[in-house]
Every structure is written in C-alpha cells, then in structure tokens.
C-alpha cells in the first residue's frame, strides 16, 4: 500500500510540487485547508503532511503559527522548495494572442514587471493551480495563468515562459508533520534544528533570560516568533528554531536554563537541517 502525504491546495499547487520533489514515492492528497491536511495525518488517513511555514518573499504563513500550538503532530523534517512561476496557456496559443493573466495575488505581484512588459491585465484568483485549472476548462485562448510546471502537466497547458518571476530565488520553507515522534540519532558532524514552543513566566526579563541560556552556551537561534494563544494568558508564547540537537551537551544545559524561566515547554521536533542542501534562504 502506497504511503500518503497531505497538502493544502488543489492539484498542481506548489505544495504538491514540494511533496513530489521531497517524497516522490508517496501518493499526494489535496486538502481544502491546512487544518484538514493536518487532521488527515492525526486521523491516520495520511502518513505525513507538507505544510508551508514561510516564504522568502511573502513572509510567514500566519495561520500555521496559530495552528502549531494546538496540533498533536510532530515535526520530522523541513523542506525548502524553490518557487518557479510559469506563464501557462492553452495548447498552440502564442504570447501575442494573450490579453489577461490569472493567478494568486502573491504570484501576480512576483511577476508584476513581466506581466506589464507583455501588456496583460492581471486577474486575482484564490490560488495558482486553481487559476490553471479554470483556464483549462474555459478554453479561453486570450487568457493565461501563472502556476507551476506541475499544474501545466496536470491540466494540459503549455508553458509559454518558465522562470516568469521578476526576481529568481523565491523559496518556501515547509514543515513535514507526522503522528509519530522521530528524533534522529545525534551525530556531531551533522547540522540539526530543534523547534519548540513555550510560554514565558510572568516575571521581569523572562524572555531575556530564556534567550540568555542559549547565548551563554554559544547556541544560535535561527528564528523566533511570538503569538497569542486561543485565550488570554499571563505570559507571552513563543516558537523558536534552534541550531542544534537536544542530545548535544550544550543544548542539554541550555534547555535546563530555559525551564527556570519558561513553562509549557514543548519540543515540536528535532530534524536534520535542509538548509545544507537547499538554495540560500532569507526572509
């Protein structure tokens, strides 16, 4: 029986492209929402989920940070997916035949200058793959869509221009989520990331002291995000990604210090860094 990976979006979405690149042997399952994709894993209908966390152009995915503290899943890996926008049209259509182009507003914004250079009218849609699907059904030979190469394959569209984005290097970082906790054996020559969430105690300089535990032990923090929970709490809540493995000596010491000034500390996952194998990623 094939293993299954869930993602949010319609067939041909960039999230599905990431699934196929990272887990080519898995069957992909399209879901309407992030919550549904995560629930598919929790309920056992999918083995893992590919969930976007942030994009180098558009920034963080707000909804995911609201869902993370509530989820019962574990982060087992991260994946960086380069986003390559393609200008798609019906078969045998030429660029000079086009009058309009449709896609998600972010994709349209990322291709703004190229769209202007072709004199096309932009039409915002809910998602990139959905715009490609709609184009394939409409049979409108004056319209185009901005979407993935996968979407072109699925919906029988031709790629008029690949790398249609104004600036190359746009990348999305994904979490791979699983029901099962999986912590890789610590090997000193490899680079790991530990992701955790916690609530600081309601005392002066609590966050400063939490972060100081990492600084004094020479540990690099890759990111920190603050958020409000589902109800009012006495202390602020945070998500941090740490450059290190929980079984390393310095991390063990640092996490002990964290426990003095934070509560409800939950390790989301420990996994190998995909940064070592991906394009340069910056927010």
Domains of the chain: 4-83+170-178 (3.40.190.10), 86-161 (3.40.190.10), 192-276 (3.30.70.260)
Active-site positions read 172, 174
Separation in Å, CA 177 to CA 6, 72, 167: 10, 10, 30
Between residues 76 and 204, the one the model is more confident about: 76
159: left (phi over 0), alpha (psi -120 to 50) or beta: beta
| Nearest residue to 207 (alpha-carbon basis) of 167, 283, 277, 261 | 261
Give the tens place of pLDDT for each residue, 35-91.
Answer: 999 999 999 999 999 999 998 887 888 888 888 888 899 999 999 999 999 999 999
Is the confidence at residue 279, as pLDDT, over 60? no
Q: For position 231, what pLDDT does the model report?
A: 54
Pinpoint the alpha helices (H) of 23-80: 34-42, 62-67
Least confident of 120-129, 207-216, 271-280: 271-280
End-to-end CA distance of the chain: 39
Give the tens place of pLDDT for each residue, 206-259.
Answer: 889 999 999 999 999 999 988 765 555 566 789 999 999 999 999 999 999 888
Give the tens place of pLDDT for each residue, 153-175.
Answer: 999 999 999 999 998 989 999 99
| Nearest residue to 235 (alpha-carbon basis) of 269, 197, 268, 267 | 197
Which DSSP category does 219 fall into? P
Angle at CA of residue 194, ends 237 and 211, nearest 5° = 50
Name, in order, each residue with C-beta under 8 angstroms of 201's C-beta and a sequence gap of 6 or more: 235, 261, 262, 263
**Using an 8 Å Cβ cutoff, are 196 and 268 in contact?**
yes
Between residues 128 and 66, the one the model is more confident about: 128
Pinpoint the alpha helices (H) of 13-148: 14-22, 34-42, 62-67, 105-110, 112-117, 128-138
Q: For position 70, what pLDDT does the model report?
A: 83
Beta strands 158-161; 86-89: pairing state: antiparallel
Residue 227 CA to residue 60 CA, distance in Å, equals 12
| Nearest residue to 124 (alpha-carbon basis) of 107, 102, 156 | 102
| Nearest residue to 274 (alpha-carbon basis) of 89, 40, 18, 72 | 18
| Nearest residue to 239 (alpha-carbon basis) of 270, 266, 208 | 266
Angle at CA of residue 256, ends 261 and 212, nearest 5° = 55
């Amino acid at each position: 029986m094939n293993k299954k990976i869930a993602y949010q979006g319609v067939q041909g979405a960039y999230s599905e492209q990431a699934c196929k690149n990272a887990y080519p042997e898995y069957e992909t399952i399209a879901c309407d929402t992030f919550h549904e994709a995560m629930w598919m894993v929790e309920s056992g209908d999918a083995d893992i989920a590919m969930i976007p966390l942030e994009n180098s152009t558009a920034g963080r995915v707000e909804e995911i940070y609201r869902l993370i503290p509530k989820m019962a899943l574990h982060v087992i890996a991260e994946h960086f997916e380069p986003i390559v926008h393609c200008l798609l049209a019906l078969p045998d259509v030429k660029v000079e035949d086009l009058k309009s182009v449709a896609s998600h507003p972010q994709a349209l914004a990322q291709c703004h200058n190229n769209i202007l250079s072709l004199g096309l009218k932009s039409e915002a849609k809910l998602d990139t793959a959905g715009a490609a699907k709609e184009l394939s059904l409409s049979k409108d030979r004056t319209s185009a869509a901005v979407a993935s190469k996968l979407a072109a394959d699925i919906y029988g569209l031709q790629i008029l221009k690949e790398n249609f984005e104004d600036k190359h290097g746009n990348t999305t970082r994904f979490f791979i989520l699983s029901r099962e906790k999986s912590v890789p054996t610590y090997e000193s020559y490899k680079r790991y990331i530990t992701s955790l969430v916690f609530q600081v105690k309601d005392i002066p300089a609590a966050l400063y002291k939490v972060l100081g535990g990492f600084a004094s032990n020479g540990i690099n923090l890759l990111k920190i995000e603050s958020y409000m929970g589902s109800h009012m709490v006495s202390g602020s809540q945070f998500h941090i990604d740490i450059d290190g493995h929980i079984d390393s000596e310095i991390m063990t010491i640092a996490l002990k210090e964290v426990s003095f000034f934070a509560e409800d500390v939950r390790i989301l996952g420990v996994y190998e860094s995909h940064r070592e194998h991906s394009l340069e990623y910056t927010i």
